[in-house]
Amino acid sequence: MAVCEYCKTTVLKDLDSVKDLGKMSDVLEDYSPIQINTSGTFGGNVFTVIGRIQLRYADGMWNEWYVMFDNGKTAWLGDASGQYMLTSEVHGGSNVPPFTSLIPARAYTIGGHSYTASDVRTADCIGGQGELPFKVGSGWQAKVADLRSGRSFLTLDYSEPGTPRIFVGQAVTLDELKCQLLREEDQIQAAAGKYHGKIQTLTCPSCGSNTSIVPGLTSTLICPSCHAQVDVSGSTAQVLTQANAVAQHATTLELGAQATINGKAFQIIGLMRVADNENSVWTEYLLHHPTAGFFWIIETDQGWARAHVMDEWPIWAEENAAVLGNTTYNKLYRYPARVIYAIGAFNWRVGIGYQTEVVEFQNGQIKLAAEITASEITWSQSTPVSADQIHAWFGQTVDAHKTGSTESIKSVSTKFIWIILLLNLIPLLLSPLSWLAIGFGIAAIYYPARYLDTYNNE
C-alpha cells in the first residue's frame, strides 16, 4: 500500500491490480525528528525510512516507521516520546501466550528467551504516509504486546486472526543508528502542530483559556485555569473530564519555566503533585526540548533529583533486587502513588486520581524505579541534583531552596522528641512518674504534627 504525499490518495497493489482506496487520514505533524527518506545504519546494513503509520491508544500515541535495508530486508522503527525500538519479523516462534493472558511486569519465555511484558494494548491507526506492507485505513486496529529484556525488545502482534506475528529487535538511539536526513530543529518547530490548524497555544474547550502544548507528543492537557482534562492527541481537542473544584498547590518551579541545560532550552510543560499511602507528598516536573526529548525533575522533602525513562531495563528476577549490567540495586520501598494535583501537558493520559504501584531500588546515590499499572510497566533512573544546580538551570528568579530543604512538621517533631528523651534519660530511670509525663508530652507533640502534615498534603 502507498499513500500519496501530496493528495493523500491511498493506492493498494493486490497481485496484478492497482486499486484506489480513497483518501488516507493525514498523520499528525509531531516533534519526531524522523521523516520519510531518513536513512541510517544497523548491524552494518544501511536502511531508509519509506513509510509510517501513527497509532493512538487510550493513554497516548506513537509512530511506527517502516524501513527497508539495502539488502531488501525490512523492519519497523518504533518512535514513542523520544524512545526508539528497531524490530523485524521472525518466523517459527513457539509458546506464544494468548493476548488476554499477558500481564505487565510478569515474565514469559518465548522462543527460548525470558522477557518481561512491558505493555499490552489495543490501538487505532489514525494516519499513514509513504509505502506500507499491508492495508491500513479507517477502523484498522493493532492489538499488540511489547516485552523486554535488557535492551532486547519483542513485539507480539495479534491484529490478525490466527497465530500472532513476532517481531524481535532492541532499543536503540538515533545516534547509534547514525541517522541522516533527520528534520532540523527549525523544521520541527515550523511543522509541528500544523495539522488542521493546530498551533502550540491551545484554547481550552472547557473554559476558553490559552495553554501551551507540545503537538504530536502531548496527548493530555490538564487546564491550569479550570483543571478540565482535555484529550489533545487528535485533530480536535476534546474534554475528557469536566473541571472540578481543585485546591491550588504552591510549587517551587512554575509551569512554563525555562531551564538552560547543556546549552539547550528546556521548558516545564507539565507538573503534578503525588502522594503515597503514608501521606508523603512530592512534586514531579515534566521538561521537554524539541530534539533532546523529555526528562523529569523530582522535588521531595529530602531534595531534588533528575530522572529519565530507561532504554535498557534491569533484570528483576527477585522481589528484593534488580540487576542493571553488573550492578545490583537493592529494594527500598514498594508503595502506591496517587496523583493529587496536575496542570499542564503530558505525553500520556494523566489526571487527579491516576495511580501506579511504585517499586524503588538503590545503589549508592542512583535509584531505579518501576512504575506498574494494569496496562504497562516503565523503568526510570534518577540521580540527585543539588539545589544550587536547580537554581543555575532556572535562573535567579527561582528560589530552589524553598521546598527542597524544608522538613515536614512530623520530621521536626520526631527529632525534638529524641532530644527530650536524651536530656531526660537519667531522671526517667529514677522516677516512673516521669515516664508517664514524658509519654503524654510526646503524644501531644507527635500526633498534632502528624495531623498537620496530613492536612497540608491534601
How confident is the model over 224-261, as pLDDT tens digits? Answer: 666 666 666 555 545 444 444 445 678 899 888 999 99
Mean model confidence pLDDT for the chain: 79
User: Is the pLDDT assigned to residue 16 strictly greater than 60?
Assistant: no
Q: How far apart are CA 73 and CA 48, in angstroms?
A: 11
Lowest mean pLDDT among 214-218, 285-289, 293-297: 214-218
User: Is the pLDDT assigned to residue 437 strictly greater than 80?
Assistant: no
Q: How far apart are CA 252 and CA 322, in angstroms?
A: 33
Label residue 307 by pLDDT band (50, 70, 90).
very high
User: Is the pLDDT assigned to residue 19 strictly greater than 90?
Assistant: no
Q: What digits encode the pLDDT tens for the residues 146-198? A: 999 999 999 999 998 888 999 999 999 999 999 999 988 777 766 655 433 33
Label residue 9 by pLDDT band (50, 70, 90).
low
Lowest mean pLDDT among 117-121, 233-237, 313-317: 233-237
Q: What digits encode the pLDDT tens for the residues 80-89? A: 878 899 999 9
| pLDDT, mean of residues 305-326 | 94
Greater confidence (236 vs 98) lies with: 98
Q: How far apart are CA 344 and CA 223, in angstroms?
A: 6
| pLDDT, mean of residues 299-307 | 94
Cell, residue 81: 516520546
For residue 324, list its beta bridge partners: 327
Q: What proportion of the chain, given as a percentage, has pLDDT over 70?
A: 66
Rounded to 5°, the CA angle 360-289-364 comes to 25
Per-residue pLDDT at 423: 65
Instruction: State the sign of the Cα–Cα–Cα–Cα dihedral 86, 372, 55, 195.
Output: negative
Compute the radius of gyration of the chain from its Cα atoms.
Answer: 26
Per-residue pLDDT at 194: 46
Q: How far apart are CA 192 and CA 29, in angstroms?
A: 5
Indicate whether this model's pTM tops 0.85.
no
User: Is the pLDDT assigned to residue 29 strictly greater than 90?
Assistant: no
For every residue of 138-195, DSSP letters joined together read TT-EEEEEEEEETTEEEEEE-SSSSSPEEEEEEEE-TTTTT-BSPPPHHHHHHHTT-G
Greater confidence (234 vs 199) lies with: 234
Q: How far apart are CA 366 and CA 383, in angstroms?
A: 5
Per-residue pLDDT at 57: 85
Q: How far apart are CA 346 and CA 284, in angstroms?
A: 12
Lowest mean pLDDT among 244-258, 316-330, 358-372: 244-258
Per-residue pLDDT at 161: 87
Rounded to 5°, the CA angle 270-404-267 comes to 25
Q: How far apart are CA 127 and CA 81, in angstroms?
A: 17
Q: What digits encode the pLDDT tens for the residues 337-348? A: 999 988 887 877
Per-residue pLDDT at 457: 44
Q: In this structure, are residues 296 and 306 in contact, taking their beta carbons and an 8 Å threshold? A: yes
